[in-house]
């Protein structure tokens, strides 16, 4: 069963971008299957599917950056687009590394990826494609950006994007809050463990000193009868 189903609404009209989006969806569905079904392959298959998705995502982000530079897209859009790329990589890595702290890691992680993928493709990627078309038609990058801001919005599409944005933000915030809480607990446990180890070392040293004192004459400072009895 596919978690993410590709539809015509996800096409940008830029061949290479659409091909990469298709590949991302395939890798996402592969990760989804490995998380929810495992197919008897275990954690190794899950880790491999995750690594492949992240590697290809980074490749796709790099390709989009090159595309924006080649076509001369307005820097305001480029800055926003690249910031969203960086934020996604940071968030997904943080969530993945701490997924054991989540009560239902597969559901939370897949909800996060689904909402992000829809939001990213329908949002900044579609906007990028429209601006590139305007630039090709002779508009300046600055004017293309301004026209994109003034473009009439489809109410149903905007409502869907808004819902996706809310889902993405809620899942991301809750997950990162749980991760932060888990890190705090881990730090507290580590600090408490260090304190116990230090106390245990002090206790061992004190016992050693007591043993020495018990075998030493307090007045003369030499070994007493107990010391020699111990040797025997």
Q: What does the pLDDT look like over 161-211, one tens digit per residue?
A: 666 666 666 666 656 665 665 566 666 777 777 777 887 777 787 777 767
Residue 2 lies in a domain: no
Distance CA 232, CA 226 (A): 10
182 vs 108 pLDDT, higher one? 108
Share above pLDDT 90 across residues of the chain, in percent, rounded to a whole number: 32
CB of 28 closer than 8 Å to CB of 116: no
Locate 215 and state its tokens: 């075998």
Say whether both 209 and 146 belong to one domain.
Answer: no
Distance CA 57, CA 16 (A): 14
Residue 223: helix, strand or coil by DSSP?
A: strand
Say whether both 210 and 144 belong to one domain.
Answer: no
174 lies in which domain range? 8-186
Which helix H or strand E contains 17, and what residues bound it? helix 15-36
Say whether both 92 and 201 belong to one domain.
Answer: no
The reported pLDDT for the residue numbered 44 is 84
Residue 223 lies in a domain: yes
Question: What rounded mean pLDDT belongs to the chain?
Answer: 80
Say whether both 135 and 221 belong to one domain.
Answer: no
């Amino acid at each position: 069963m596919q978690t993410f189903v590709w539809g015509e609404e996800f096409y940008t009209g830029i061949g290479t971008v659409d091909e990469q989006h298709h590949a991302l969806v395939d890798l996402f569905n592969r990760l989804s299957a490995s998380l929810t079904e495992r197919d008897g392959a275990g954690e190794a298959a899950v880790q491999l599917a995750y690594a492949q998705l992240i590697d290809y995502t980074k490749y796709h982000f790099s390709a989009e950056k090159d595309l924006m530079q080649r076509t001369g897209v307005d820097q305001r859009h480029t800055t926003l687009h690249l910031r969203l790329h960086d934020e996604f990589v940071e968030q997904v890595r943080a969530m993945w590394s701490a997924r054991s702290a989540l009560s239902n890691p597969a559901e939370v992680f897949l909800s996060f990826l689904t909402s992000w993928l829809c939001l990213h493709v329908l949002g900044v990627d579609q906007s990028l494609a429209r601006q590139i078309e305007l630039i090709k038609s002779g508009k300046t990058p600055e004017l293309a950006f301004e026209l994109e801001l003034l473009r009439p919005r489809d109410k149903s599409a905007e409502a869907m994007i808004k819902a996706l944005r809310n889902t993405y933000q809620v899942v991301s915030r809750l997950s990162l809050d749980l991760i932060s809480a888990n890190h705090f607990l881990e730090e507290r446990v580590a600090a408490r463990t260090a304190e116990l180890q230090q106390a245990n070392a002090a206790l061992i040293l004190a016992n050693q000193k007591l043993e020495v004192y018990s075998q030493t004459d307090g007045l003369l400072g030499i070994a007493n009868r107990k010391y020699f009895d111990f040797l025997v």
